[in-house]
Chain A
Amino acid sequence: MYRRMRRIRTFEDRAEEVHRNGEIPGTCHTSQGQEGEIVGACMALRLDDYMVGNHRSHGHPIGKGAKLDGLMAELLARKTGVCSGKGGSMHLADFSVGSLGETSIVGSGIPVAAGAALGAKMQGLDRVSLCFFGDGASNEGTFHEGINMAANWKLPVIFLCENNGYAVSTPIGTTAAVENIADRAAGYGIPGVVVDGQDVLAVYEVVSEAVHRARAGEGPTLVEAKTYRYLDHAANMGRDLGYRTDDEVAQWRATRDPIALFDKRITTDMGIKEADLREIDDEVLKEVDAALDFARSSPFPDAEEAFSDVYGDRLAAVA
């Protein structure tokens, strides 16, 4: 748990640096500060369970257990990336660990996650589907349609709202009349649970309960993790949008950091040695650097690969 959170933090710190020096094309949305809810939710799943995420796409597959090499290579637009250089920072996916794709149109993944759960159910598999989305996505029509269908068909889905307080720059309190996004669960006849997203164990417990319900055929749960992102919506947004103060960010970093909180808890209450955690930090740093070396030494895709994977089997369709 600690290792996975540290992996996300170190991976994204490094990605941000590399983005700044121009090695990552396009935009780069990072999730530093949100590692607790990501890892707490993902670790409540099995490897063969499904997960769908959003444009803030790096943490989710790492949380689900994806190897870092292919993820970093994707960010650096290389042929060896998990999406062969076609998806980039907002669209990571690693089907080998159940990561069915991060999608950058806000709210678009919500019904898709419900569909993966329907597929599992129809195939008689006891897999569940975890859907990450932000507070902003909870105002989309797909939130209503996807959750309603999942609730109605009792699909094994965990809808996890990562409420980091801001839809890009707009505070959620100015666009939603409910105090908690989880309150909306009542409208679908499913449980809605609010949890402290900075407390990885609390998230793990809440999501584990939701997973248990889902596997037992009792349907979906809406979990709202209250969390915070340290950096702006996306890297290189340009000017300061002025929607929050530096002091607010500093407060969260200093007092509510999910990794620091967990570090303190396990060293104080659970007898984990400080030195062991620093060893994990070193190992993770090496792992991330190795992933970056792998990415840098990988070739870019050939220009003609722009035309592959548009269709799978046009010729096979002729049958």
Chain B
Amino acid sequence: MASKTFLEAIRDAQYEEMARDPAVFVMGEDVESNMFGTFSGLMEEFGPDRGRNTPIAEAGMTGVAIGAAMVGMRPIVDYTMAPFLYPAFDQIISMAAKTRYLYGGQSGVPVVLRSNMIYGNGNSAQHSDRPYSMFMNMPGLNIIVPSSAYEMKGLLKTAIRNNDPVLSFEDVALWSSKSEIPEEEYLIPFGVADIKREGEDVTIFAIGAMVNLALAAAEELAKEGVSCEVVDPRTVAPLDRAAILKSARKTGRFVAVDCSFEACSAASEVCALVAEQAFWDLRGPVKRVTTMNTHIPFSPPMEKQLYPSVEKVIDAVRYTLA
């Protein structure tokens, strides 16, 4: 085992997969300068052909990656920040997600579209989005939201080997966090949730960096004798519905923590799922903890209050117990 950061996990996953498969290459904005450290050593090892700087042309670079994927390549595209996916929205939706289906399965689109989510840092409304929930509304996409360096590496390696498009949303709050990473290779399957903490009284479903909030809340609540189960979906598409329902039926209480805006969030989706399919096992109302429905403002006193927090998760758990 070696202790590695989230960023090192991204770098290692890309490096190992590029070494394993010559069809894998990275392209994106500021790849050559290794802006965030996720490409360390890649240029030196694999050369400029497989580490391509693109112009700031998100729709164009996405389309180019899709075309290359349709003829046998496996591009990894780095958009840097998640809101920079928006100029590429049509390519992601109309082309990446739909090509396999539209053409009756003649081709898949094995692209990995990586972006990071930086929020809570005074970057204001256009730079602080957490948009994975928007993409959950579209069939054909896989979406990973890793909660630790361990998950990041295993999920990204699976993403690169997947024959369909994968969006990777990487929370900047986790960048320097460390995990013990096995020396031997491992892959984390898509659509398989991980129970981060077992409990009996309340299920806390939490995505990405929200898992840490949920675990901290569970620790606090344990002092009061409330036993929380923390469920990390790891991928929001595919979503491990069976594991979510199983936990909700066991505890009878369900809280979903998600840093998306509330409307049509992943939290909304899983709460609807639980309310529809586990209703008769519930002992209290379901509850969402999400980012409040306003744009992200610049000034910290306005911004900080908007996101999920340990306190908000604790309050939500109490709400379900009341």
Contact = CB atoms under 8 A, between A and B. Distances in A.
B66 A112 contact: yes
B102 A111 contact: no
B106 interface: yes
Interface in B87-130: 87, 90-91, 94-95, 99-108
Which residue of A81, A115, A310, A311 has the most chain B CB atoms within 10 A of its CB atom?
A115
User: Interface residue tally of chain B, by bracket?
Assistant: 35 or more
A108 B238 CA distance: 26
A180 B220 CA distance: 69
Interface stretch (B189-197, B204-212, B291-299): B189-197
Contact of A119 (B57, B70, B103): B70
Which residue of B68, B94, B163 has the most chain A CB atoms within 10 A of its CB atom?
B68
B158 interface: yes
A303 interface: no
Contacts of B67: 52, 100, 111-119, 129
Given A111-B59, A309-B104, A312-B108, A149 B64 contact: yes
Contacts of B263: none
A145 B70 contact: no
Contacts of A103: 94-95
Interface in B71-89: 71-73, 87
A312 B163 CA distance: 6
Contacts of B104: 81-87, 93, 309
A148 interface: yes
B37 interface: no
A145 B105 contact: no
A309 B100 contact: yes
Interface in B31-67: 49-50, 52, 54-55, 57, 59-67
Contacts, number: 181
Contacts of A311: 100, 140, 142, 164
A95 B50 CA distance: 26
A118 B75 CA distance: 11
A319 B158 contact: yes
B61 A149 contact: yes
B59 A91 contact: no
Nearest to A120: B71
A60 to B, nearest CB: 14
Interface in A87-125: 87, 91, 93-95, 100-101, 103, 105, 108-120, 122-123
B275 interface: no
B107 A100 contact: yes
Given A119-B72, A146-B60, A314 B190 contact: yes
A174 interface: no
A109 B90 CA distance: 11
Interface string B21-33: 0000100000000
Interface in B150-203: 158, 161-164, 187, 189-192
Interface residues of A, number: 53
A13 B60 CA distance: 36
A292 B14 CA distance: 49
A319 B161 contact: yes
Interface string B204-242: 000000000000000000000000000000000010000
Contacts of B103: 82-83, 86-87, 91, 93, 95, 101
Contacts of A94: 106
A141 interface: yes
A103 B142 CA distance: 22
Contact of B102 (A83, A117, A118, A144): A83
B139 interface: yes
A114 to B, nearest CB: 5
B71 A119 contact: yes
Contacts of A50: 71
A93 B91 CA distance: 18
A153 B61 CA distance: 12
A145 B71 contact: no
Given A87-B104, A119-B71, A314 B191 contact: yes
A308 interface: yes
B55 A145 contact: yes
Contacts of B94: 103, 105, 108
Given A108-B90, A152-B55, A314 B66 contact: no
A101 B99 contact: yes
B13 interface: no
A318 interface: yes
Given A87-B103, A87-B104, A318-B189, A111 B91 contact: yes
B140 A93 contact: no
Interface of B: 25, 49-50, 52, 54-55, 57, 59-73, 87, 90-91, 94-95, 99-108, 139-140, 142, 158, 161-164, 187, 189-192, 238
Task: Report, nearest first, the 7 A-B pairs whose CB atoms are least far apart.
Answer: A115-B67, A111-B63, A145-B60, A84-B104, A318-B189, A119-B71, A83-B104
25 contacts: A52-B67, A84-B104, A95-B103, A111-B66, A112-B63, A112-B91, A115-B67, A119-B73, A120-B71, A122-B49, A142-B91, A145-B57, A145-B61, A149-B55, A149-B57, A149-B60, A153-B52, A309-B100, A309-B105, A313-B108, A314-B190, A317-B142, A317-B158, A317-B163, A318-B190
